[in-house]
Amino acid sequence: MHDIWRLSATDLAALIKSKKVSAAEAAQAALDRLDAVNPKLNAVVDHRPAEVLAQAAAIDAAIGRDEDVGPLAGVPVTVKVNIDQQGFATTNGLKLQRDTIAKSNSPVIDNLRKSGAVILGRTNCPAFSYRWFTTNLVHGDTKNPRDPGITPGGSSGGAASAVAAGIGHIAHGTDIAGSIRYPAYACGVHGLRPTLGRIPAFNAALPERPIGPQMCAVSGPLARTIGDIRIALAAMSPRDARDPWWVPAPLEGPPMPKRVALCLNPDGLNPVPEVTAAVADAARRLERAGWTVEEISNTPPLREAAEINTKLWLGDGYEAQLEMAEREGDPGALACLRGNRSKVFPFDGAALSKALTRRLTLIREWLALFEQYAVLLMPVSGELPFPDQLDRKDEASFARVWHAQMPQIGIPLMGLPGLTVSTGLVGRIPVGVQIVSGRFREDLCLAAGEAIEAGGTPSAAIDPAG
């Protein structure tokens, strides 16, 4: 079969289980696609073809024995270079960590393997996974396959670039302030930031994280179809005893009326007209699919949530982060830390207590919204995907980027799920929308996402633009 790499993960798994395509054929097709387009993109920065083919051979052997190989039977999947994969360096985009070789897998890798996935390669991220742009001093720059002049997003920029270009059918990413949702938006694919506690996480190769990142960072999937996001979420979510934050919540919650809160301009974002038009178009698609859409003038506090999340993420241990960034010498990481210094430092015990206390009030206000509405529909960003490296241009550009990203930065503070749905192109620049719901209601995000997806042009893997 030609162009196996173009298939959805759902369709490919069905073909492999029915023995119409072998896992070995799918793996070879993925490796060939990687060889063909990755030199233009630098999306995958580490992969071992012999190991990929060995994983696939094991899947085929299990199918030959009529064993259940899991929902992702033989599907090639990429993983981000900031999680532990046994025998590989957990670099997180750092020269300082290029010799940090994992002795065990993170829970998400173990869960993917148990689901039958074939781990194809490791995808790039900015240094420390700090930025919405993907470049570093150890692996280099990642390009957006839609347009090399715009960012592929970050921090999971390699993940989004890879899956958009057909390198793997699903990509793993992580998100503390938009790092799944923004790359999906920038590369024209879909990306889900799950609820805190949904997908287990742990990197034995690295020190324990401070409380802020523990509460706000999650792993999640990026893919070209919402159906693939759905099966990837199920594959990544099973319990792992190494993560005390994990919650045994069902993937399907109780039914809710199909009511959507539409907010075109959350908390003074003032999005550009193209973004507003995309959100309004998604609302019309939902209405045509039988959802009731009610426009609201504002969300619960989002800008304040973004400010607190930034403090918890960058302020907790700020001096240690800055010292490490200075040793690394990465200009983007230093720009991120220095540009936010006045917002996050100093951050002492009293500031931490105040932030966590206020967080509880904000969560309560947000959860009240989702008692009334199944989902909230709003922008991913206030702007179309940025010119690459815009945040390093000057102080005004840095401030512009952080202002536009407020809808992404705020949501993690409440631990809520957020789904980026790619809705189309403005010229050749992708645009999309963000769907948010209550805790552990990824199912509602996905249901709304499927309705929006069905009302537009189906997504497909693309060849990198020149």
Give me 380's structure tokens: 């991913």
Select which of 155, 156, 161, 237 is catalytic.
155
Count the Cβ atoms, other than its own, within 10 Å of residue 388: 22
Q: What's 238's DSSP letter? A: S
Residue 387: φ, ψ to 5°: -55, 140
**297 part of the active site:** no
d(CA 214, CA 176): 9
Count the Cβ atoms, other than its own, within 10 Å of residue 345: 16
Question: Going by DSSP bridges, is the β-strand pair 375-378/429-436 parallel, antiparallel, or unpaired?
Answer: antiparallel
Q: What is the 3-state secondary structure (H, E, C) of 130-179?
A: CCCCCCCCCCCCCCCCCCCCECCCCCCHHHHHHHHCCCCCEEEEEECCCC
E strand segments, 206-323: 218-223, 259-262, 292-295
Q: Identify the helix (H) or strand (E) that includes residue 196.
A: none
**155 part of the active site:** yes
Residues belonging to the chain: 466
For 154-183, give one letter per residue: b (16+ CB within 10 A) or e.
bbbbbbbbbbbbbbbbbbbbbbbbbbbbbb
Rg, Å, the chain Cα set: 20
Question: Going by DSSP bridges, is the β-strand pair 259-262/418-426 parallel, antiparallel, or unpaired?
Answer: unpaired
Q: Identify the helix (H) or strand (E) that includes residue 357.
A: helix 349-372
Select which of 161, 179, 237, 437 is catalytic.
179
Environment class of residue 42 by beta-carbon count within 10 Å: exposed (0-12), middle (13-18) or buried (19+)? buried
d(CA 462, CA 297): 37
Select which of 8, 22, 80, 258 is catalytic.
80
**80 part of the active site:** yes
**What angle, 0 to 180 degrees and rounded to 10, lies between the N-to-C axes of helices 303-310 and 331-344?**
110
Q: What's 390's DSSP letter? A: G
d(CA 102, CA 204): 7
Catalytic residue list: 80, 155, 179
